[in-house]
Amino acid sequence: MPKIILDEFKNRSAKLKSISEMGINPYPDQFDKEISVAESVKLKLGDKVKIAGRMLTLRDLGKIIFCHLLDSTGKIQLVVKEDIVGKDKIKLFSKIFDAGDFIGVEGELFKTERGEISVLVKKYTLLSKALRPLPEKWHGLKDQELIYRQRYLDLISNPESYQRFLFRSKFIKLLREFYWCHGFVEVETPILANNASGALAKPFKTHYNALDLDVYLRIAIETYLKECLVGGFEKVFEIGKVFRNEGMDPSHLQEFTGVEHYVAYWNFEDNMKFTEEMFTFLLEKLFGSLKIKIKNRDGKEIEVDFTPPWPKVSFAQLIKKDSGIDIDKCPTVEALRQEIKAKKIKIDDASKLGRGNLIDALYKEVSRNKIIKPTFVINHPIDISPLARRNDDNPEIVDRFQLLVNTWEVVNAYSELVDPVDQKQRFEHQAKVKSAGDMEAHGKDDEYVKALEHGAPPISGWGMGIDRMLALLCKQDNLRDVVLFPLLRPEK
């Protein structure tokens, strides 16, 4: 603890002791707050108010004290005058309060000589004594690691951060409303699972003591939701945490919030239309427009038009245009590696990746960073889509789309594979690739195959990374800036 903060901590701790010795409870259990700050400033001058919040500032001029009080709706000035509360009460105020304390006050609205709407305090109550000072007094918190590590200080000090997390809450609320209005049922499925199923990713592993069993944190919500459709549901969705034990960068977190939905009797084209309808609903409710300002990868503010219909581009054609490599003419992983080497394209761990993940890495290297406006990427190779339905006209590709905005994949969806024989064969192929060293390949999931063997309707499924979408809409470069408490290494 820096010396200046340590000294402040000691002073406040001594003050806490003296407060208790005065017979004042520094941590009472309740205060009858009658109105918020935002509601208070709408009242007439002279109206009585009873409000509470955190004291941000304290300026003691002897016979008059000025403070600013912050609650969840805004900030207002408090004015404590000796001729109103009395000599003893204003002295007591100076003795017990510091910036950062919680306070409850009763008083009336008035306007200062400088024209600031304020509360003329008649009564006050200490509601909580803060032993540590607020960062940089009231001038805001700038240290990025401290912002992530002690988000509560960021929320106090930086109003734009507080508003960003209110926006997140509103986004998720509207998302749920959209699903409910379209007849979806919200369900909950396990986070701990016997198989890391539903995506190509490296899982987190833990041990279940009661069963003496190694289990995985889910890497997707997918398979259990599809089992709901086997059981008779027709439209289901879930919003929840997903975990992937892979690299961290501004657009990836190992723990993130995802939403997935699955619909019986739809195909991926139905889901594309539904996606356009969803974004139209969300953006018009949140912004009142489909033309949204975002930050591009260079940090410049640009306008992106979400007005549908959005363009559709083929995965293989995109790679061919951007690299000159025709993946359809590279049927084996060895042939694809040779082509990548011939084009002098560098891909990390290319020698360890199976054909599917190597194709995906190539796409990310040469194509993804060029897509800015909302775009559906379609016709993915079957190698990178072990749970998607084969295309009827070309069995080497699947009926799938990804929605990309500003180089980020925000939605992944497809017509689901409900053929249990085909699914079992693909799982077996993925298991071989994993055993050969590709740790992100999909393993076997026999329980899911068993569910499909009982019969499943035609299904289309859909998933979105909520943190990533929010980072785009809030003009943030890093997903941590839209996650309240991102995981960090412990301080030494």
Task: Determine the length of the chain.
Answer: 492
Return the CATH number at 121.
Answer: 2.40.50.140
Q: Is residue 326, in this structure, part of any structural domain at all?
A: no
Say how far apart CA 145 and CA 142 lie, in whole Å. Answer: 9
In this structure, the answer to whether residues 301 and 224 fall within a common structural domain is: yes
- The CA distances from residue 22 to 15, 17, 25, 103, 167, in Å, are 11, 9, 9, 17, 44
Q: Is residue 306, in this structure, part of any structural domain at all?
A: yes
In this structure, the answer to whether residues 298 and 427 fall within a common structural domain is: yes
The pairs formed by 4-10 with CB atoms below 8 angstroms and a separation of 24 or more are 5/132, 5/133, 8/132, 8/133, 9/131, 9/132
Considering only CA atoms, which of 318, 308, 463 is closest in space to residue 379?
A: 318
In this structure, the answer to whether residues 128 and 165 fall within a common structural domain is: no
Q: Is residue 488, in this structure, part of any structural domain at all?
A: no
Predicted pLDDT of residue 442: 60
In this structure, the answer to whether residues 40 and 180 fall within a common structural domain is: no
Say how far apart CA 418 and CA 407 lie, in whole Å. Answer: 31
Asked whether the bond before 458 is cis by omega within 30 degrees of 0, the reply is no
State which residues form the domain around 306: 157-311+373-482
In this structure, the answer to whether residues 21 and 95 fall within a common structural domain is: yes
In this structure, the answer to whether residues 262 and 381 fall within a common structural domain is: yes
In this structure, the answer to whether residues 49 and 11 fall within a common structural domain is: yes
Q: Is residue 142, in this structure, part of any structural domain at all?
A: no
Q: Specify the DSSP element, H or E, that contains 21.
A: helix 3-21
End-to-end CA distance of the chain: 12
pTM for this prediction: 0.90
Domain end point (choices 133, 168, 188)? 133
Helix (H, G, I), strand (E, B) or coil at 398: strand
Say how far apart CA 152 and CA 129 lie, in whole Å. Answer: 16
Considering only CA atoms, which of 311, 313, 315 is closest in space to residue 326?
A: 315
Predicted pLDDT of residue 138: 46
Token duo for residue 479: 């997903």
Q: Give residues with Cβ within 8 angstroms of 233, minimum separation 6.
A: 185, 187, 264
In this structure, the answer to whether residues 165 and 82 fall within a common structural domain is: no
Q: Is residue 323, in this structure, part of any structural domain at all?
A: no
Residue 204 sits at φ, ψ, to 5 deg, of -85, 145
Predicted pLDDT of residue 91: 96
Beta-carbon neighbour count of residue 105 at 10 Å? 24
Question: DSSP string spanning 36-82?
Answer: -HHHHTTSPTT-EEEEEEEEEEEEE-SSEEEEEEEETTEEEEEEEEH
Considering only CA atoms, which of 121, 128, 98, 113 is closest in space to residue 31?
A: 128
Q: Is residue 335, in this structure, part of any structural domain at all?
A: no
Domain end point (choices 117, 133, 149)? 133
In this structure, the answer to whether residues 280 and 198 fall within a common structural domain is: yes
Helix (H, G, I), strand (E, B) or coil at 245: coil
Q: Is residue 190, in this structure, part of any structural domain at all?
A: yes
Q: Is residue 339, in this structure, part of any structural domain at all?
A: no
pLDDT values of the chain reduced to their tens digit, one per residue, 492 residues: 677 788 899 999 999 999 999 999 999 999 999 999 999 999 999 999 999 999 999 999 999 999 999 999 999 999 999 999 999 999 999 999 999 999 999 999 999 999 999 999 999 999 999 999 987 654 567 788 889 999 999 999 899 999 999 999 999 999 999 999 999 999 999 999 998 887 778 899 999 999 999 999 999 999 999 999 999 999 999 999 999 998 888 888 999 999 999 999 999 999 999 999 999 999 999 999 999 999 988 889 999 999 999 999 999 999 999 999 999 899 899 999 999 999 999 998 888 888 888 998 999 999 999 999 999 999 998 888 877 899 999 998 999 999 999 999 999 999 999 999 999 998 888 788 777 776 656 666 889 999 999 999 999 999 999 999 999 999 998 999 999 999 998 887
In this structure, the answer to whether residues 127 and 190 fall within a common structural domain is: no
In this structure, the answer to whether residues 127 and 162 fall within a common structural domain is: no
Predicted pLDDT of residue 439: 64
- The CA distances from residue 323 to 3, 73, 316, 358, 359, in Å, are 57, 52, 10, 14, 12
Return the CATH number at 289.
Answer: 3.30.930.10
- The CA distances from residue 461 to 12, 274, 312, 366, in Å, are 56, 11, 18, 27
Predicted pLDDT of residue 164: 98
Asked if 89 and 47 count as a contact pair (C-beta separation under 8 A), the reply is no
**DSSP assignment, residue 158?**
-
Asked if 382 and 395 count as a contact pair (C-beta separation under 8 A), the reply is yes
Strands (E), 224-374: 235-243, 255-264, 291-295, 301-305, 312-314
**DSSP assignment, residue 381?**
B
In this structure, the answer to whether residues 32 and 118 fall within a common structural domain is: yes
- The number of domains in the chain is 2
Domain end point (choices 98, 133, 168)? 133
